[in-house]
C-alpha cells in the first residue's frame, strides 16, 4: 500500500505523545500551544501505521510556519524520507490554497534540512538559537 496523508484528529493525541516520548522530549507540548488545540496538523501513514506528523500554524499574515515535526521512531520502512516529503508538500499545498505566500520552520536535523532543500526551501546556515519562554499565569 502507498503512503497517505490526512489531517490530525483528536484521537491522535495519545499517539503524538507516545512519539514525543520515544524521542525523549523533555516535555510534551500542551494542546493549547498547538494549532486547533492539537488537531491543526497532518500525519503520514502507511497501512494505518504512523510515520511522521507535523503542525501547520496559520497567522494573521501571509507568512505561516510549520512546527514540531515528529516521526515514529520504530518505523523502519524504506519510504521514511518519502513520508517526510509528503508531509512537507501536503502542508505547503494547504497553506498555498489558503493564500499563504511563504513558509518558515526551524530545523536542526541534517536529514530534515536536506529534505527541505530538495523541496526548494532556502536554508540559512548562520548560527541561530531557538529561544523560548513558557509563560505561567502565576508570574
- Please name each of the domains of the chain with its CATH number: 4-118 (3.40.630.30)
Taking the mean position of all CA atoms in its chain, how far away is CA 79? 17
Q: What is the pLDDT of residues 94-116, one digit of tens each?
A: 999 999 999 999 998 999 999 99
How far apart CA 120 and CA 60 sit, in angstroms, is 24
Q: Following DSSP, what letter does each residue of 35-69 receive, concatenated?
A: GGGGTSEEEEEETTEEEEEEEEE--SSSEEEEEEE
- Residue 91 corresponds to which cell in the numbers above? 502542508
- Residue 98 corresponds to which cell in the numbers above? 489558503
How far apart CA 110 and CA 101 sit, in angstroms, is 25
Q: What is the pLDDT of residues 78-97, one digit of tens each?
A: 999 999 999 999 999 999 99
How far apart CA 122 and CA 119 sit, in angstroms, is 9
How far apart CA 84 and CA 78 sit, in angstroms, is 12
**Does pLDDT of 1 surpass 80?**
no
Global pTM value: 0.92
Amino acid at each position: 500500500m502507498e503512503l497517505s496523508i490526512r489531517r490530525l484528529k483528536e484521537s491522535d493525541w495519545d499517539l503524538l505523545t507516545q512519539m514525543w516520548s520515544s524521542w525523549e522530549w523533555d516535555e510534551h507540548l500542551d494542546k493549547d500551544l498547538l494549532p486547533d488545540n492539537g488537531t491543526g496538523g497532518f500525519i503520514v501513514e502507511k497501512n494505518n501505521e504512523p510515520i511522521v506528523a507535523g503542525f501547520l500554524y496559520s497567522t494573521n499574515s501571509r507568512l505561516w510556519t510549520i512546527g514540531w515535526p515528529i516521526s515514529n521512531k520504530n518505523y523502519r520502512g524504506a519510504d521514511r524520507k518519502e513520508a517526510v516529503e509528503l508531509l512537507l508538500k501536503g502542508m505547503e499545498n494547504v497553506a498555498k490554497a489558503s493564500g499563504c505566500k511563504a513558509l518558515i520552520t526551524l530545523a536542526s536535523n541534517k536529514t530534515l534540512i536536506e529534505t527541505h532543500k530538495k523541496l526548494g526551501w532556502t536554508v540559512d546556515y548562520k548560527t541561530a538559537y531557538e529561544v523560548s519562554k513558557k509563560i505561567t499565569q502565576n508570574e
